[in-house]
Amino acid sequence: MKTGQVYPPKAEAVYKAVIELLNQGYDVYQLKVSEITGKAGIGKGTAYEYFESKEKMIAGALVYDTNHLLESLYRLEEKEQEFESKLHVILQWFGQDLKESHTFARIVTIGNGNDALSLTLKEEMLQIAHCFQDFITFIDALLSVGQEQGKIGEMDGKSARMAMISQISGLILCLMHPEIYPDMSAMEAAEITYRNILRLLKG
């Protein structure tokens, strides 16, 4: 499954620049347009042909990165044939790639505010909601594979989906707030989630 989203090259350069700067430690609220365009290799005037504000650049970059993070997950999952292997790959991805990317944590933190950036991000949330709806479809397809291979016990589709999503949500919470379990590595958290899901789905 892929998002199919195509971005104009210069807009994509801005998005990549924002993510790179944020991952280098730049404060999301102190980030300057000149820093973004300098990293992107384009002029400020050109950037404003695509974006009406700095907030649009940053919010758009978070949506862009969300799309690409999920696409990387889908590509990994497609390589596996067995339900348990697919599930293991998905959770290992959360344990590694999501731990290294702070995009989801930034979305949650910024989205709870009431400033210009927060309001802009909330406007962009429709796009994020769409790719997370794709993620739900992805989960349902995975569960169908599990049912076809006899890996899931007597459980209706809604219950199976909720079991899966609740465990993944718990994993994301641990990764976003490592202080909850300071002695637990990301990969260990993924392994625990893997075992929990299998227990829940097998009934």
- The model's pLDDT over 84-131, given as tens digits with 9 standing for 90+, comes to 999 999 998 887 776 677 787 788 778 778 889 988 988 887 766 777
Tokens of 171: 């994993």
**Residue 153 · residue 88 · CB < 8 Å:** no
Closest CA to 62 of 135, 126, 13, 124: 124
pLDDT per position as a tens digit, 31-66: 999 999 999 999 999 999 999 999 999 999 998 998
Closest CA to 152 of 190, 197, 195, 193: 197
pTM of this structure? 0.76
